[in-house]
Structure 1
């Protein structure tokens, strides 16, 4: 298992007593010689007693120095490796001058160990230590991160792998953990402030007046003038794919930028397991390894029936395990291209250190279409707001009078759009990959290796609308922000519920529920994939069936960090508790 760490952070961790913190490698050769591509073993912690220290660290990438919030002095944090069936105690010391926390993303555990301040516990106060203690009842690829403020953006995240108690159904000879993330030298609160001032602040590829009229911008190559004029009339930007882009982000693989070329080794003919974790604050990645097919064997830590593909999209907070079997004695480039094509994370798989393969250029930026505006089920020639003479549309998408009576959305300044006719998009190719000539994974390609344990049909249905005002960077569920009028979502213990996520915005939203897994409803004959996070495409819908078998209070939110921070979050209450009867 290999990973990378910043040289200064490594030295700092050494001064703290790295051996006592579970380091499994010495100083990497690249830190001694300056040669890029040479990597140490990933710092790994295991056993029943684990210690983590949250603190400040310097961080260097691309020749620039910045400030990070790290665990045990490294970015990403150490790999925590556990075994299904064990118990674990994790002591977290907070050396910061602010509260912190750790959420164990995707783990099934008692709710008071889930690590969300204000919902499941008070948080970890400065200069104190908190001990998490819980049984390990599952296996797979997961991760952990802060749920306090915007610390996750600054480096407070790390991988977590749980080995199965019995034999692993996935055969492999070697594995690499691949932690994808986005890094900015801006303070996270400064970045958030810029988004609040102007929703498209970091969109350097947005449609301009000159480009609209003269065709100078890239949009002219992908969209006819008539369509560009239509978007202009609606005051919407078809290039608004990502809120934060490569204009400020450096995209990292295991803590290293593209030029530093993190390298994972293999011997030709080996089955190599790649455990992909998207630990980004805001970046959805498209993953491909030119010349090397990938067989997906797990999603969100849950085994799936193996499916071969050439590219897949991994949304924020999702994990995917893939098997690759390189047979040639040559290097392969691992490409993690941001969804808006403003940059990429890059790594190399190779038989020997120092080898490289060609790095493909960034592909053309995708643009939003009618389906992304929630018009997937409409006859565009007869829909409200369409000017039949010119083929253009007026501002009908923003006209609140068009909201159907049965849509329970708090319409106000925080909601600038209601999708007229959203459709289920779980079978669609991901945004920007619609026309790729090779195989592209969709949720409909995922089927569980073993069926979900609860085979009951849902007894009721709950609609949740994903709402926002893109220009003012306001985000919510059903038009209501957490702590500003949003009523908790209440489920009876062991209730089987269908939850319908309806995306009324033109942005993708990775929606995550704590403490539970759900069946993503695809309607495919091989069964519904079991996940904890689902990416809801722009103007689309996604449904999942949930068994509310974990009593307690659980966070439910968009995992785009700044969307959650802006208000797209709520609390799921599952009652009764074991010791509280029907107490709410």
Structure 2
């Protein structure tokens, strides 16, 4: 049996064990606190309060092996939705009910799921096995049905192992029926770091990482010492990717967005990568940041932005006349992805181009402020959780509060909240690596008046405090969105007390 098959069998067994653990927890047996069930009456009641429009959007996503054309004659054997990566854009209006059938056509005994990243939805549709649902078995289907809420830029991806680092992802755009922004055109930009089917698989990379880095810092596929970034506070990442993609294409054969000089374009930028933060700039242009993780911010004009895994940014750009490179510099890794904007005559720049804007005014989330209409009201927290980010590269033992999540009993050490509370999370990074921390089912506010986000970079040896209102009952994952850190154990369950 190959590694992937062994891993699939293990995950299926863990899913069944996790379901048993949830049942025991819900019944109040043992010493574990009694948590709201992902499909319980509290979740049903919360869903009934959502402002649905009555419109149902039906769609199908088929997860299956695919030979992907990355451009320039380069192909990769991977897994993808309906044979392409990114998967086809999903676009709905706020308040629509999304009914998405997942068909798992992956290799025998390979389980999967769909996590609707950034969406505050009902808990049993969150797609995080074994906490919110059993994993979807090979040859089976599962229909996700939920009311979409806050307009914004989101994406969908699996929540099983390191499947995120294959081609299984797709943009999800929730449109605002009363859109306040004025623009002429829109361009969804999905960034990714790519290794699958080229120099190995994500499972093989993870197996190497788990061996520890004490004696192997120069193994193929892993980052050597010296891959550092001041913006990220030191170590830039764990994995050396042979390619960085923009909308599924390598820089040598870039995707092209065509427009007219003077057009005002909204770029919706999504980092779907597994281990790479990107510094993004459009050559010859400045960008106005309008949203992050679906929520509006006070507009800020910048040359470039830094976007960690799982983060999304919306920006407005007024196009010039000519051909311009949109470059996603793999922060600290010495490589980049590229796409082109063409509004007129001119030759395409070299795939190795590095526009000066990359070294100009760079914005990070910490420099942004939420707009008044989405800023949380001032309130003393009812509950504070200290969330220590621990572990390191030497033994590859990433954890939260010193505990690696046990997928056979994921709710064994939950972070408890109660409905209606204002909750503060103090992310205390005790490691020498940066971590993009993602909370399912909620958005939090950075600091006193920072942006509303669901994923935020916590720099090494630093503390980041965020607050949110506990208004979506269930059991929710809180984890690092580095695919390899999460799989190694940097995950926890934030659970509502029943």
Residues 443 and 452 in structure 2, CA contact (< 8 A), matched pair in contact too = yes
RMSD: 2.5
TM-score, normalization by structure 1: 0.69
Residues 554 and 572 in structure 1, CA contact (< 8 A), matched pair in contact too = yes
The reply on whether 1:571 has 2:482 as its aligned counterpart is no
The reply on whether 1:188 has 2:202 as its aligned counterpart is yes
**Alignment map for 1:279-294 (pairs within 5 Å):** 279-294=272-287
Richer in strand (by share): 2
**Which residue, out of 368, 379, 383, partners 1:456?**
379
Q: Please state how far the C-alpha of 1:445 moved relative to its aligned partner.
A: 2.7
Aligned twin of 1:518: 444
Residues 48 and 86 in structure 1, CA contact (< 8 A), matched pair in contact too = yes
Q: Please state how far the C-alpha of 1:60 moved relative to its aligned partner.
A: 3.5
**Alignment map for 1:122-521 (pairs within 5 Å):** 122-166=134-178, 168-184=179-195, 185=198, 186-199=200-213, 200=217, 201=219, 202=221, 205-206=224-225, 240-245=235-240, 248-327=241-320, 329-352=321-344, 355-357=347-349, 438-449=360-371, 450-483=373-406, 487-521=413-447
Aligned twin of 1:417: none
Could you tell me how far apart the structure 2 residues matched to 1:137 and 1:204 are? 39
Aligned twin of 1:534: 456
Could you tell me how far apart the structure 2 residues matched to 1:274 and 1:196 are? 37
Aligned twin of 1:22: none
**Alignment map for 1:42-57 (pairs within 5 Å):** 48-57=57-66
Residues 180 and 280 in structure 1, CA contact (< 8 A), matched pair in contact too = yes
Could you tell me how far apart the structure 2 residues matched to 1:65 and 1:353 are? 30
Q: Please state how far the C-alpha of 1:153 moved relative to its aligned partner.
A: 1.0
Secondary structure of the residue aligned to 1:193 is: helix
Q: Please state how far the C-alpha of 1:138 moved relative to its aligned partner.
A: 1.6
Could you tell me how far apart the structure 2 residues matched to 1:114 and 1:353 are? 46
Q: Please state how far the C-alpha of 1:150 moved relative to its aligned partner.
A: 1.7
Aligned twin of 2:482: 560
Residues 206 and 239 in structure 1, CA contact (< 8 A), matched pair in contact too = no
* Residues 64 and 264 of structure 1: CA distance in aligned 2, closer, same or farther (over 3 Å): closer
Secondary structure of the residue aligned to 2:84 is: coil
Q: Please state how far the C-alpha of 1:360 moved relative to its aligned partner.
A: 5.7
Could you tell me how far apart the structure 2 residues matched to 1:293 and 1:279 are? 23
Could you tell me how far apart the structure 1 residues matched to 2:347 and 2:175 are? 31
Secondary structure of the residue aligned to 1:571 is: strand
Could you tell me how far apart the structure 2 residues matched to 1:437 and 1:190 are? 35
Q: Please state how far the C-alpha of 1:137 moved relative to its aligned partner.
A: 1.8
CA deviation map 1:70-108 (0-9, x unaligned): 111111111000001211211111112211100000111
TM-score, normalization by structure 2: 0.81
Runs of 4+ in 1 over 4 A off after TM superposition: 202-205, 352-355, 358-363
CA deviation map 1:487-529 (0-9, x unaligned): 11111111111110011111110000000011111x4xxx321
